[in-house]
């Protein structure tokens, strides 16, 4: 936070922060703790009015990325074969006449063999595609695993971790987001393995279903002194700069180092992995296509002899706000860069999420027709649902709308009130049919449309409307990695196609649904998008519906 003349401040102090609603209800007083005050700012502290509190970017993440780049440039902290892969150097040509071949850069590397009947306890047995990919990955030092929607990449990672532990190897699990790391921890721990989640202490009071796997929770459970220290942190009188708290911090740091030394499986976000220097035999990065190139380096500098990056470059990549950085290529992940340089990913090619009618278009358009269905139409049919799909064999509908887009108050996003009304209408029909609110997702490429729909739902006062309020309404970008039985997509635009002209965003938008997909939008406009035009003519032919027909 920023106080007067740039003084740094934090508020409202340690402990869970009040929800935005509670702040709005009582905005008169906010307690602010100034951590860094320069002498020239001290006279300002005598004032009782005229202060501004402003959120500013935390530089820690960027400093960690910069340090990783500097260390990588020194060239002595990574295994040579890993370095060559990161730089995109080609493997030597395979000798087809030889019974076996081995690239010269892999000299000294010991490949591992995974049996055909391998599977980890508590994890779904790998299908043929997953087994093929895992067997290839354990036999080479560097692997890119492409996981299209619904292909079980998290289960594949969990099986790989169990295999590596059975071989006595230490594993670092990482991902760009805490949500992804939490999911990894949960899936790996389901196999009976002990995982140490090195969650940032800034998230001490953030809930998670796998919070018990974090260092702080493990320390509280095992050490009464740690439990007392962490309880003391929640007191209003707690001060970080006292002698007592300094000793407490040192004690927790020693505990932290003890846990890290003894943990065979450690999980952390890419950024948080910079907070410890322990070495690991294997580094596995999930959601690798959602991190920038240098962000991935932070986790890779833990000395692995094996690296596995898992992601899907046909879905959304990292978010980069700077136009200059985008022009320089920072919005291209390491995963995608290596593929563009000729790398061949190991692709998981059996999907278990979508009804075959929904998966047909992305399979043909984004995955060269190689994506197969592991579920049948009968398995993706909801008994009792009598929704009027235009083609009863296909749970797909394009609900035509000719409403006009408008810009949001911020002038950086768009909304379409006509589309919003149709979204709420369709949502109501699904709820009347007995679909649970938590099984429905409403998504849009534009935050302003999501906000408008949320506000419109909040104004409803019927029992059905109250159920609507439990439905998750979110942007397409934030919904990546999630799924729902029913997805309603509002495309918003009426003058230009906008965000859906990005093929990767389109892919994410239409692959979130398991049982049914409704798209609300301007048919004439969206048919200008090459991929959507193909979908219209082929996969979804006859699945359109106008207001009158509906």
Domain annotation covers residue 138 = yes
Q: Indicate whether 403 and 333 sit together in one domain.
A: no
Detail the DSSP E strand segments found in 87-184: 142-146, 171-175
> Phi, psi at residue 442, to the nearest 5°?
-110, 120
Same domain, yes or no: 315 and 371: no
Q: What is the pLDDT of residue 104?
A: 46
How many Cα atoms are found within 13 Å in the side-chain-facing hemisphere of 197?
29
Is 289 in the same domain as 417?
no
State mean pLDDT over 132-158: 96
- The answer to whether residues 289 and 314 belong to one domain is yes
Q: Residues 162, 191: contact at Cβ < 8 Å?
A: yes
**Burial grade of 402 (CB within 10 A; 0-12, 13-18, 19 or more):** middle
Structure-block tokens of residue 220: 């509280």
- Residue 245 resides in a domain: no
Judging by DSSP bridges, how do beta strands 406-407 and 414-415 pair with one another? antiparallel
Quickly state the pLDDT bin for 2 (edges 50, 70, 90). Answer: very low
In terms of domains, do 340 and 379 share one? Answer: no
Instruction: Look at residues 302, 322, 347 and tell me which one is the last residue of a structural domain.
Output: 347
Cβ–Cβ < 8 Å for 411, 426? no
User: What is the number of structural domains in the chain?
Assistant: 2
Lowest mean pLDDT among 77-81, 132-136, 449-453: 77-81
Q: Contact at 8 Å (CB) between 181 and 200?
A: no
* 118 and 188 inside one domain: yes
Q: pLDDT per residue over 202-241, tens digit each? A: 888 888 899 999 999 999 999 999 999 888 877 766 666 6
Distance CA 195, CA 411 (A): 45
pLDDT tens readout for residues 22-31: 334 445 566 6
Over residues 360-377, mean pLDDT: 94
pTM: 0.84
Residue 432 CB contacts under 8 Å (≥ 6 apart), including other chains: 464
Mean pLDDT of 329-349: 93
Cα–Cα distances (Å) from 512 to 139, 435, 477, 520, in that order, read 33, 16, 11, 15
Q: What is the DSSP letter of 404?
A: P
Domain region containing 181: 59-90+103-194+264-347
C-alpha 156/C-alpha 350 separation (Å) is 12
Tokens describing residue 111: 């490949």
pLDDT: which is higher, 447 or 5: 447
Burial label for 270, CB within 10 Å (0-12, 13-18, 19+), is: buried
Domain match, 491 and 423 both: yes
- In the numeric block, the tokens 């990695």 are attached to 481
Within its chain, how far is the Cα of 499 from the centroid?
Answer: 19
What is the pLDDT at residue 41?
64
The answer on 362 and 338 residing in a single domain is: no
Please determine, for residue 512, whether its predicted confidence score (pLDDT) is greater than 90. yes
* pLDDT (0 to 100) of residue 347: 97
My answer on whether 364 and 331 are in the same domain is no
Q: Please state whether beta strands 33-36 and 8-10 pair in parallel, antiparallel, or not at all (unpaired).
A: antiparallel
**Same-domain pairing of 308 and 447:** no
Question: Mapped to the 3 state alphabet, what secondary structure does 276-308 carry?
Answer: CCCCCCEEEECCHHHCCHHHHHHHHCCCCCEEE
> What does the radius of gyration of the chain's CA atoms come to, in whole angstroms?
26
Residues 418 and 334 grouped into a single domain: no
The predicted-structure confidence for 153-198, as pLDDT tens digits, reads as follows: 999 999 999 999 999 999 999 999 999 999 999 999 999 999 999 9
> Of 347, 375, 398, which one is at a domain's C-terminal end?
347
In a domain, 129, yes or no: yes
In a domain, 259, yes or no: no
- pLDDT for 102 equals 42
Q: Which of 215-229, 268-282, 312-326, 519-533 has the lowest mean pLDDT?
A: 519-533
Q: Which among 112, 191, 181 is positioned nearest to 155, based on CA atoms?
A: 191
Instruction: Quickly count helices (H) and strands (E) in the chain.
Output: 20, 19
Is 502 inside a domain boundary?
A: yes
Residue 249 belongs to a domain? no
pLDDT digit string, tens, across residues 391-435: 888 899 889 899 999 998 877 899 999 999 999 999 999 998 889
Taking phi over 0 as left and psi of -120 to 50 as alpha, with beta for the rest, 322 belongs to beta
CB atoms within 10 A of CB 118: 17
420: burial class by Cβ within 10 Å (0-12, 13-18, 19+)? buried
Please, are residues 130 and 146 in contact by the beta-carbon 8 Å criterion? no
Domain boundary among 347, 382, 416: 347
Whether residue 236 lies inside any domain: the answer is no
48 within a domain of the structure (yes/no):
no
> Domain of 167: which CATH number?
3.40.50.300
Q: Which two tokens stand for residue 361?
A: 């278009």
Spatial CB neighbours of 112, under 8 Å, sequence gap ≥ 6: 138, 139, 163, 167
108 and 166 part of one domain? yes
């Amino acid at each position: 936070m920023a106080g007067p003349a740039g003084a740094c401040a934090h508020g409202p102090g340690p402990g869970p922060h009040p929800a935005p609603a509670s702040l709005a209800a009582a905005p008169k007083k906010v307690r602010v703790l100034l951590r860094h005050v320069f002498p020239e700012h001290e006279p300002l502290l005598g004032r009782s009015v005229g202060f501004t509190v402003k959120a500013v970017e935390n530089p820690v993440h960027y400093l960690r990325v910069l340090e990783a780049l500097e260390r990588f440039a020194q060239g002595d902290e990574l295994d040579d074969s890993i370095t060559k892969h990161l730089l995109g150097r080609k493997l030597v040509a395979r000798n087809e006449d030889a019974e076996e071949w081995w690239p010269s850069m892999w000299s000294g590397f010991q490949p591992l063999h995974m049996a055909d009947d391998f599977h980890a306890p508590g994890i779904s047995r790998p299908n043929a595609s997953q087994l093929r990919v895992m067997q290839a990955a354990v036999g080479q030092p560097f692997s890119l695993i492409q996981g299209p929607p619904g292909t079980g990449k998290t289960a594949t990672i969990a099986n790989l971790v169990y295999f590596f532990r059975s071989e006595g190897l230490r594993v670092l699990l990482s991902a760009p987001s805490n949500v992804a790391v939490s999911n990894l921890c949960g899936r790996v721990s389901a196999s009976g393995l002990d995982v140490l989640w090195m969650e940032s202490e800034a998230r001490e009071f953030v809930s998670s279903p796998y919070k018990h796997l974090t260092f702080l929770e493990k320390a509280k459970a095992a050490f009464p002194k740690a439990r007392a220290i962490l309880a003391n942190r929640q007191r209003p009188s707690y001060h970080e700069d006292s002698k007592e708290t300094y000793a407490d911090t040192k004690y927790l740091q020693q505990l932290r180092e003890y846990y890290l030394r003894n943990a065979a499986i450690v999980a952390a976000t890419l950024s948080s992995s910079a907070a410890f220097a322990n070495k690991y035999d294997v580094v596995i990065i999930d959601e690798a296509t959602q991190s920038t190139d240098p962000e991935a380096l932070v986790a890779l500098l833990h000395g692995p002899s094996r690296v596995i990056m898992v992601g899907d470059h046909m879905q959304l990549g990292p978010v980069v706000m700077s136009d200059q950085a985008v022009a320089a290529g920072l919005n291209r992940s390491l995963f995608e860069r290596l593929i563009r340089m000729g790398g061949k990913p190991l692709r998981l090619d059996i999907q278990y999420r979508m009804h075959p009618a929904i998966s047909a278009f992305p399979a043909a358009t984004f995955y060269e027709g190689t994506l197969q269905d592991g579920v049948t139409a009968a398995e993706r049919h909801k008994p009792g649902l009598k929704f009027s799909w235009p083609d009863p064999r296909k749970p797909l509908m394009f609900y035509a709308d000719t409403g006009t887009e408008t810009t949001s108050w911020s002038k950086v996003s768009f909304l379409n009130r006509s589309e919003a009304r149709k979204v709420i209408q369709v949502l109501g029909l699904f709820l009347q049919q007995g679909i649970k609110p938590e099984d429905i997702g409403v998504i849009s490429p534009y935050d302003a449309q999501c906000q408008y729909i949320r506000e419109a739902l909040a104004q409803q006062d019927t029992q059905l409307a109250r159920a609507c309020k439990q439905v998750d309404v979110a942007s397409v970008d934030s919904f990546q990695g999630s799924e729902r039985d029913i997805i309603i997509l509002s495309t918003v635009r009426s003058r230009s196609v906008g965000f859906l002209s990005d093929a990767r965003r389109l892919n994410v938008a239409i692959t979130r649904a398991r049982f049914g997909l409704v798209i609300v939008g301007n048919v004439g406009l969206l048919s200008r998008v090459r991929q959507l035009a193909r979908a219209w003519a082929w996969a979804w032919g006859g699945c359109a519906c106008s207001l009158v027909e509906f």
